Amino acid sequence: MQVILAKPRGFCAGVVRAIEIVERALEKYGAPVYVRHEIVHNRHVVNTLRRKGAVFVDELSEIPTGAMTVFSAHGVARRVEEEAKARGLPVLDATCPLVTKVHLQGRRYGATGRALVLIGHEGHAEVEGTIGQVGVPIRLVQSVDDVAALDIAVDTPIAYITQTTLSVDDTREIIAALNERFDDVLGPDVSEICYATQNRQTAVRDLCRVAELLLVVGSDNSSNSRRLREIGLDAGLPSHLVANGDALDPSWFDGVDVVGVTAGASAPDELVEDVIAALRRFCPVEVSQLDGVEEKLEFALPRELRTPSMPLARA
């Protein structure tokens, strides 16, 4: 069996930074370090950090007074920041800088008085954080049908922002629907969506041209991982989202000679290796990698965790 790996795949710079913030905090301050929500959407990563002393909570009320607190990579609402300040909790903010960029865009558009639309998935941690950061009313749309149902007059100036982990194609369709329905629309181009989302989706499209079956390594609560699987399905390939090698079903590979493998932005490469090892239990495997983008973006750690010899978080 040929196994072809997508490039890039797995961790992006924002995820590397978020995980390193928790690890460095544990080294500097000692366990426990409390993290509001999962630091990234990958159960393997969360469980690994939990074993090191991280405690994951849903609400700040679960955190003892004075305990070191980390906000997840998805960002939090202003009310959460204010609650932490009121309680005197020392906070390290692991919000991905590209998510913060969306927050700033939303505030900027909101200040112009335009009706603001957020393209994203209801209930996602990033969406909840963005809605709570912008400070003006936001209408959430998840589909072209949602655009048609918006209670906004067609001559109302509007602006849109997007969840960073959405499919570029889905986002493009919704943006087109907004432009078709409303007379005055302002927003970032689809080219400004998260670089990691774009790169991984492009790599999967390339992979689908040569593979007969697609495996996406990631957790089922990872939005960007689910989108990668959807791209494979749209391309007509049998496509499966798997947490690790244990999730593979031997029957998937009957008559399959070429398997494409990628990983969501929150999935570590060790899980990809675990999937390849599981495939090797079925039959001999030859592994290669497609050419793709070399990601070199780096994000600085919070000032409290930097040392002169400490490198930037890097994908």
Active site residues: 126
Q: How many C-beta atoms lie closer than 10 Å to residue 308's C-beta?
A: 4
3-state secondary structure string across the chain = CEEEECCCCCCCHHHHHHHHHHHHHHHHHCCCEEEECCCCCCHHHHHHHHHHCEEEECCHHHCCCCCCEEECCCCCCHHHHHHHHHHCCCEEECCCHHHHHHHHHHHHHHHCCCEEEEECCCCCHHHHHHHHHHCCCEEEECCHHHHHCCCCCCCCCEEEEECCCCCHHHHHHHHHHHHHHCCCEECCCHHHCCHHHHHHHHHHHHHHCCCCEEEEECCCCCHHHHHHHHHHHHCCCCEEEECCHHHCCHHHHCCCCEEEEEECCCCCHHHHHHHHHHHHCCCCCEEEECCCCCCCCEECCCHHHCCCCCCCEEC
**Structure tokens given for 211:** 């593979």
Cα–Cα distances in angstroms (integers) from residue 212 to residues 1, 74, 257, in the given order: 11, 34, 7
Residue appearing with tokens 């000032």: 303
Residue 123, burial from CB neighbour count under 10 angstroms (0-12, 13-18, 19+): exposed
Interatomic CA distance for residues 280 and 251, integer angstroms: 14
